């Protein structure tokens, strides 16, 4: 039996500022409290326009380098996963995000500044409840040698493996439970990472202009450009961060044992769609099973 939990919003509005990893320009992000059942919604400010973009699977429009949502036209907000990882960790179900750029600020490359910002704003527990997503059967997605599986579990757990063509990132794996405490201390501070040769190629195309050692772990051909890491296996921990942030687009808390190998944003969102498809079907079946006896009883009394 799934136990419903209370919905949450933030207690006070907060403002976070940082550069956009691609534009290199300053971005202002404001978070505001919301009423129960509002969900998570972006308002993108473009000049005098205020464009509403709900955070949902239906609004995901790109997963090539980050997770991007849009309104069906040209209006988009990208790199939402680090923010959402912090939102999920703190159980925030209802919040308004106002932003003046098409990308969420990269901050220090992790979810830590968002987590700290939300905690400083305070969290308000709402009267209404929401049921966490749980599954009764394994769900998986596969793309060549990449795969992502969710197994039934009463708690949130992850087993994640990466295998890049780099002497420090071959066969790196990490397994852990993911309660709020562990996420906050062991996962959310892990920074995004990239390869120096790829960063140089992106910058030649006018992208990753805000990327630096202040907000990313950068790998050379045989080591790290950074002097220190936050964890010995910071890269695989960041992949877990991305996975949690991507699955948070489902808009509900979730439980299960996630098993990933060389996954990424595209596979994360594909799994989220499969999960929601199964959950929606199960919940509709449960609803019908509750309604049919009542309907049959009414028919019998006619």
3-state secondary structure 229-269: CCCCCHHHHHHHHHHHHHHHHHCCCECEEEEEECCCHHHHH
Q: How many CA atoms lie within 13 A of 181 on its CB side?
A: 0
Retrieve residue 206's tokens. 């006018």
Query: What number of residues does the chain have?
Result: 302
Contact 56, 83 (CB under 8 A): no
Bridge-based pairing state of the strands 217-219 and 256-261 = unpaired
59 is in an annotated binding site: no
CB-based contacts of 61: which residues, under 8 Å, 6+ apart? Answer: 68, 69, 70, 76
| pLDDT, tens digit only, all 302 positions of the chain | 568 999 999 999 999 999 999 889 999 999 999 999 999 999 999 999 999 999 999 999 999 989 999 999 999 999 999 999 999 999 999 999 999 999 999 999 999 999 999 999 999 999 999 999 999 999 999 999 999 999 999 999 999 999 999 999 998 999 999 999 999 999 999 999 999 999 888 888 888 899 999 999 999 999 999 999 999 999 999 999 999 999 999 999 999 999 999 999 999 999 999 999 998 766 666 655 545 454 444 444 44
Interior angle at CA 281, CA 272 and CA 241, nearest 5: 15
Residue 257 annotated among the catalytic residues of the structure: no
Domains of the chain listed by start with CATH number: 5-130 (3.30.230.20), 139-281 (3.30.1700.10)
166 is in an annotated binding site: no
pLDDT score of 3: 85
pLDDT score of 283: 64
């Amino acid at each position: 039996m799934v136990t419903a939990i209370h919905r949450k919003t933030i207690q006070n509005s907060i403002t976070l500022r940082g550069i956009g990893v691609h534009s290199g320009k300053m971005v202002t992000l404001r978070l505001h409290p919301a009423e129960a059942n509002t969900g998570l919604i972006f308002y993108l400010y473009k000049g005098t326009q205020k464009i509403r973009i709900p955070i949902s699977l239906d609004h995901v429009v790109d997963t090539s380098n980050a997770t991007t949502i849009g309104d069906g036209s040209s209006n988009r907000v990208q790199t939402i996963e680090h923010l959402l990882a912090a939102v999920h960790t703190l159980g925030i179900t209802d919040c308004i995000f106002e932003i003046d750029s098409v990308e969420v600020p990269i901050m220090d490359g992790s979810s830590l500044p968002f987590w700290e910002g939300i905690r400083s704003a305070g969290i308000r527990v709402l009267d209404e409840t929401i049921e966490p997503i749980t599954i009764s059967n394994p769900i998986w997605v596969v793309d060549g040698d990449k795969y992502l599986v969710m197994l039934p579990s009463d708690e949130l757990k992850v087993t994640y493996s990466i295998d890049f063509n780099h002497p420090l990132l071959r066969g790196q794996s990490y397994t852990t439970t993911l309660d709020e405490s562990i996420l906050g201390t062991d996962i959310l501070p892990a920074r995004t990472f990239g390869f120096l040769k790829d960063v140089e190629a992106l910058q030649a195309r006018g992208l990753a202009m805000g990327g630096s050692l202040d907000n990313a772990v950068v790998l050379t051909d045989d080591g790290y450009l950074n002097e220190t890491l936050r964890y010995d296996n910071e890269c695989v921990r960041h992949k877990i961060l991305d996975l949690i942030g991507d699955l948070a687009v489902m808009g509900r808390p979730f439980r299960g044992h996630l098993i990933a190998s060389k996954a990424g944003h595209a596979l994360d969102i594909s799994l989220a769609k499969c999960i929601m498809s199964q959950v929606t079907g199960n919940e509709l079946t449960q609803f019908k099973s509750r309604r049919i006896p009542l309907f049959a009883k009414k028919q019998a009394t006619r």
